[in-house]
Every structure is written in C-alpha cells, then in structure tokens.
C-alpha cells in the first residue's frame, strides 16, 4: 500500500501551555512493500508522524493518502485506515488488559467482526509469528509474563488484525538481545509476506540491517528521504539531525582513514568481513606480483 503525505502540519494545543508545533509542512511518499525507518533526535516528531498514518491523530493542515484514499474525506476512510495500518506503540506491553493472552490478542479481530474459529486462527497465527506456543500461552494472564513475552503478545495483538502496513514505534527499546532479535525477525517475516513495514528508531544499527528507505526528521521538519546508503554518506544531514552512524560504518571509515581502500557503504558485520577479505587478498596479490 502506497502512503502519500502532503504538507502535514500538527500542533499540540492545551489551555495550560503554549501551542507546540510537532510537525511542519511534512511531505513524502512511501512505496508499497518497503521497510522504511523513521529516524531523528528525541522530540523531532517521529511518534507524532506515525500516529497520523492510522488516523489516530488528525492533521491541523495537509493531507494523508493511503492507496489514494484521502483519510480526511470521510469517517469510513478513517475506519478503513485503522484496519489496514496496524500501529504498535512504544512499550505496547503496558496496554495489555485482558484476563488471558488469548482474549488480549483476540480483542482486535473480534472488533473487526470475526468470531469462533476465525478468531482462534488469527490468535494462533500471530502467536506463531512472535515465537510463542499457542497451547502454552493462550490461558496465561499477561501479568505473569516476562517483559519480553509481554512485548511479543502486544505485537501479536496488532498482527492478529492482519494489517497491510505494520508500523512500530521504537520496537526494540528496552528489550534484551534475544527479544530484540525476535522483533527484528517479525519485521523481516512480515515484509516477506509482501507487506509494508515502517519503524521508528534511535538504533542506527537496526536501520543499517533492515531499512530500504529512510525518513529523517528534525524539529518537526523532514530533512531527508531516500536510501540508507545516501543518508550515511551525507555528513551534513547526519550531523544536523544528531544521528550516530552504525557501528559497522564507523569501523569501516576508521579502517579507510588508516590507508586501506575499503568501501564504507557496508552495513552488516558479514558485509564488513567480506570487504576486508577482498582488500587483504588484493594486497597479498599485489605483494606477490612485486616479488616476482
């Protein structure tokens, strides 16, 4: 599903404090079936932006189109968007409220009008996606789960609604390595099914591993949209947005400063190993040729 945002502006208004502009004249497009990262410093407007994508917030000015449907055109478009775009909040485990895991995950599908076996199948499939056994967890109270398990159940509750676009706000924050890897695997798996995935993050290593498309926000304005390769090469944008390059990129840049002709547009440890092997082999071949 293609998402088009045109001149989006949003303000937080309160009788007890001055008006605060969270987003100002933001425009971009996200093509279907991409993994898109939204990055920027704290307070840059990332969470406010994604809450517009499933119509949780309504813009002060501008428009949002999902598959060419103007979300401001009618209430039916808003309801449609909330079914098609699933939003996983930061720390979604705090929103678990039912007596058992089954009912918590089933809440969304039941609200969509599903019943009986259809609901059970949605719960079963979504638990499988997050790596939890249906029979073991279905009757357990969410309060008895570990922090990582609660996060998985909360994500499963959104997946059970089978959205075309999965939006995740800081999906790995506060998780141990195993649980964070599970969340990353969920995003990859959902994308492989032909769906769009959008995630907000401060973790630039996660961006390097997953993202195909990146949006950079700063002070409520869009600074950049494009590929991660172009972003990581743009020192001006990186510095202006207060971003930190992925560890692999930092390492390869340091290697290059020391005189080794390595590429710096590599984003995973495996890619870095391959690039270092290439340079070392080329160096050895050059030395052997000089000896001969």
- Please state, in angstroms and rounded to a whole number, the distance separating the CA atoms of residues 7 and 232: 26
How much of the chain is helix, strand and coil, in % rounded to 5? 45, 20, 30
- Please state, in angstroms and rounded to a whole number, the distance separating the CA atoms of residues 158 and 136: 20
Torsion of CA 159, 164, 169, 173, to 10 degrees: 50
Which residue has 């075309």 as its token pair? Answer: 164
With 0.85 as the threshold, say if the pTM is over it.
yes
- Please state, in angstroms and rounded to a whole number, the distance separating the CA atoms of residues 266 and 146: 35
Tens place of pLDDT per residue across the chain (292 aa): 899 999 999 999 888 888 999 999 999 999 999 999 999 999 999 999 999 999 999 999 999 999 999 998 888 888 899 899 999 999 888 889 899 999 999 999 999 999 999 999 999 999 999 999 999 999 999 989 988 899 999 999 999 999 999 999 999 998 888 889 989 999 999 999 999 999 999 999 999 999 999 999 999 999 999 999 999 989 899 999 999 999 998 999 899 999 989 988 888 888 999 999 999 888 887 775 555 4
- Name every residue whose Cβ is closer than 8 Å to that of residue 264 and which is 6 or more positions away in sequence: 232, 249, 252, 253, 256
User: Would you say domain 3-244 falls under CATH 3.90.580.10?
Assistant: no
CATH 3.40.50.300 in the chain, residue ranges: 3-244
């Amino acid at each position: 599903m293609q998402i088009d945002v045109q001149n989006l502006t949003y303000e937080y208004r309160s009788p007890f404090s001055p008006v605060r502009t969270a987003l100002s004249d933001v425009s971009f497009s996200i093509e279907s079936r991409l993994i898109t990262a939204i990055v920027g410093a704290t307070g840059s407007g990332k969470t406010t932006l994604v809450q517009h994508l499933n119509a949780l917030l309504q813009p002060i000015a501008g428009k949002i189109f999902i598959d060419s449907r103007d979300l401001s055109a009618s209430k039916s478009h808003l309801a449609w968007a909330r079914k098609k775009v699933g939003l996983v909040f930061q720390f979604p485990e705090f929103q678990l409220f039912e007596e058992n895991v089954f009912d918590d995950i089933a809440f969304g599908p039941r609200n969509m009008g599903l019943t009986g076996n259809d609901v059970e199948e949605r719960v079963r499939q979504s638990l499988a996606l997050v790596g939890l056994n249906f029979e073991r967890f279905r009757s357990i109270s969410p309060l008895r789960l570990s922090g990582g398990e609660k996060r998985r159940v909360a994500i499963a509750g959104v997946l059970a609604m089978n959205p075309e676009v999965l939006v995740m706000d800081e999906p790995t924050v506060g998780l141990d390595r195993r649980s964070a890897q599970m969340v990353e695997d969920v995003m990859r798996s959902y994308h492989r099914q032909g769906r769009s995935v959008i995630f907000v993050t401060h973790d630039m290593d996660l961006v390097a591993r997953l993202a195909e498309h990146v949006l950079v926000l700063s002070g409520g304005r869009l600074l950049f949209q494009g590929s991660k390769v172009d972003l990581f090469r743009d020192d001006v944008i990186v510095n202006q947005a207060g971003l930190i390059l992925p560890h692999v990129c930092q390492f390869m840049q340091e290697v290059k400063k020391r005189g080794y002709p390595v590429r710096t547009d590599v984003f995973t440890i495996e890619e870095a190993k391959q690039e270092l092997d290439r340079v070392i082999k080329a160096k050895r071949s050059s030395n052997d040729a000089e000896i001969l």
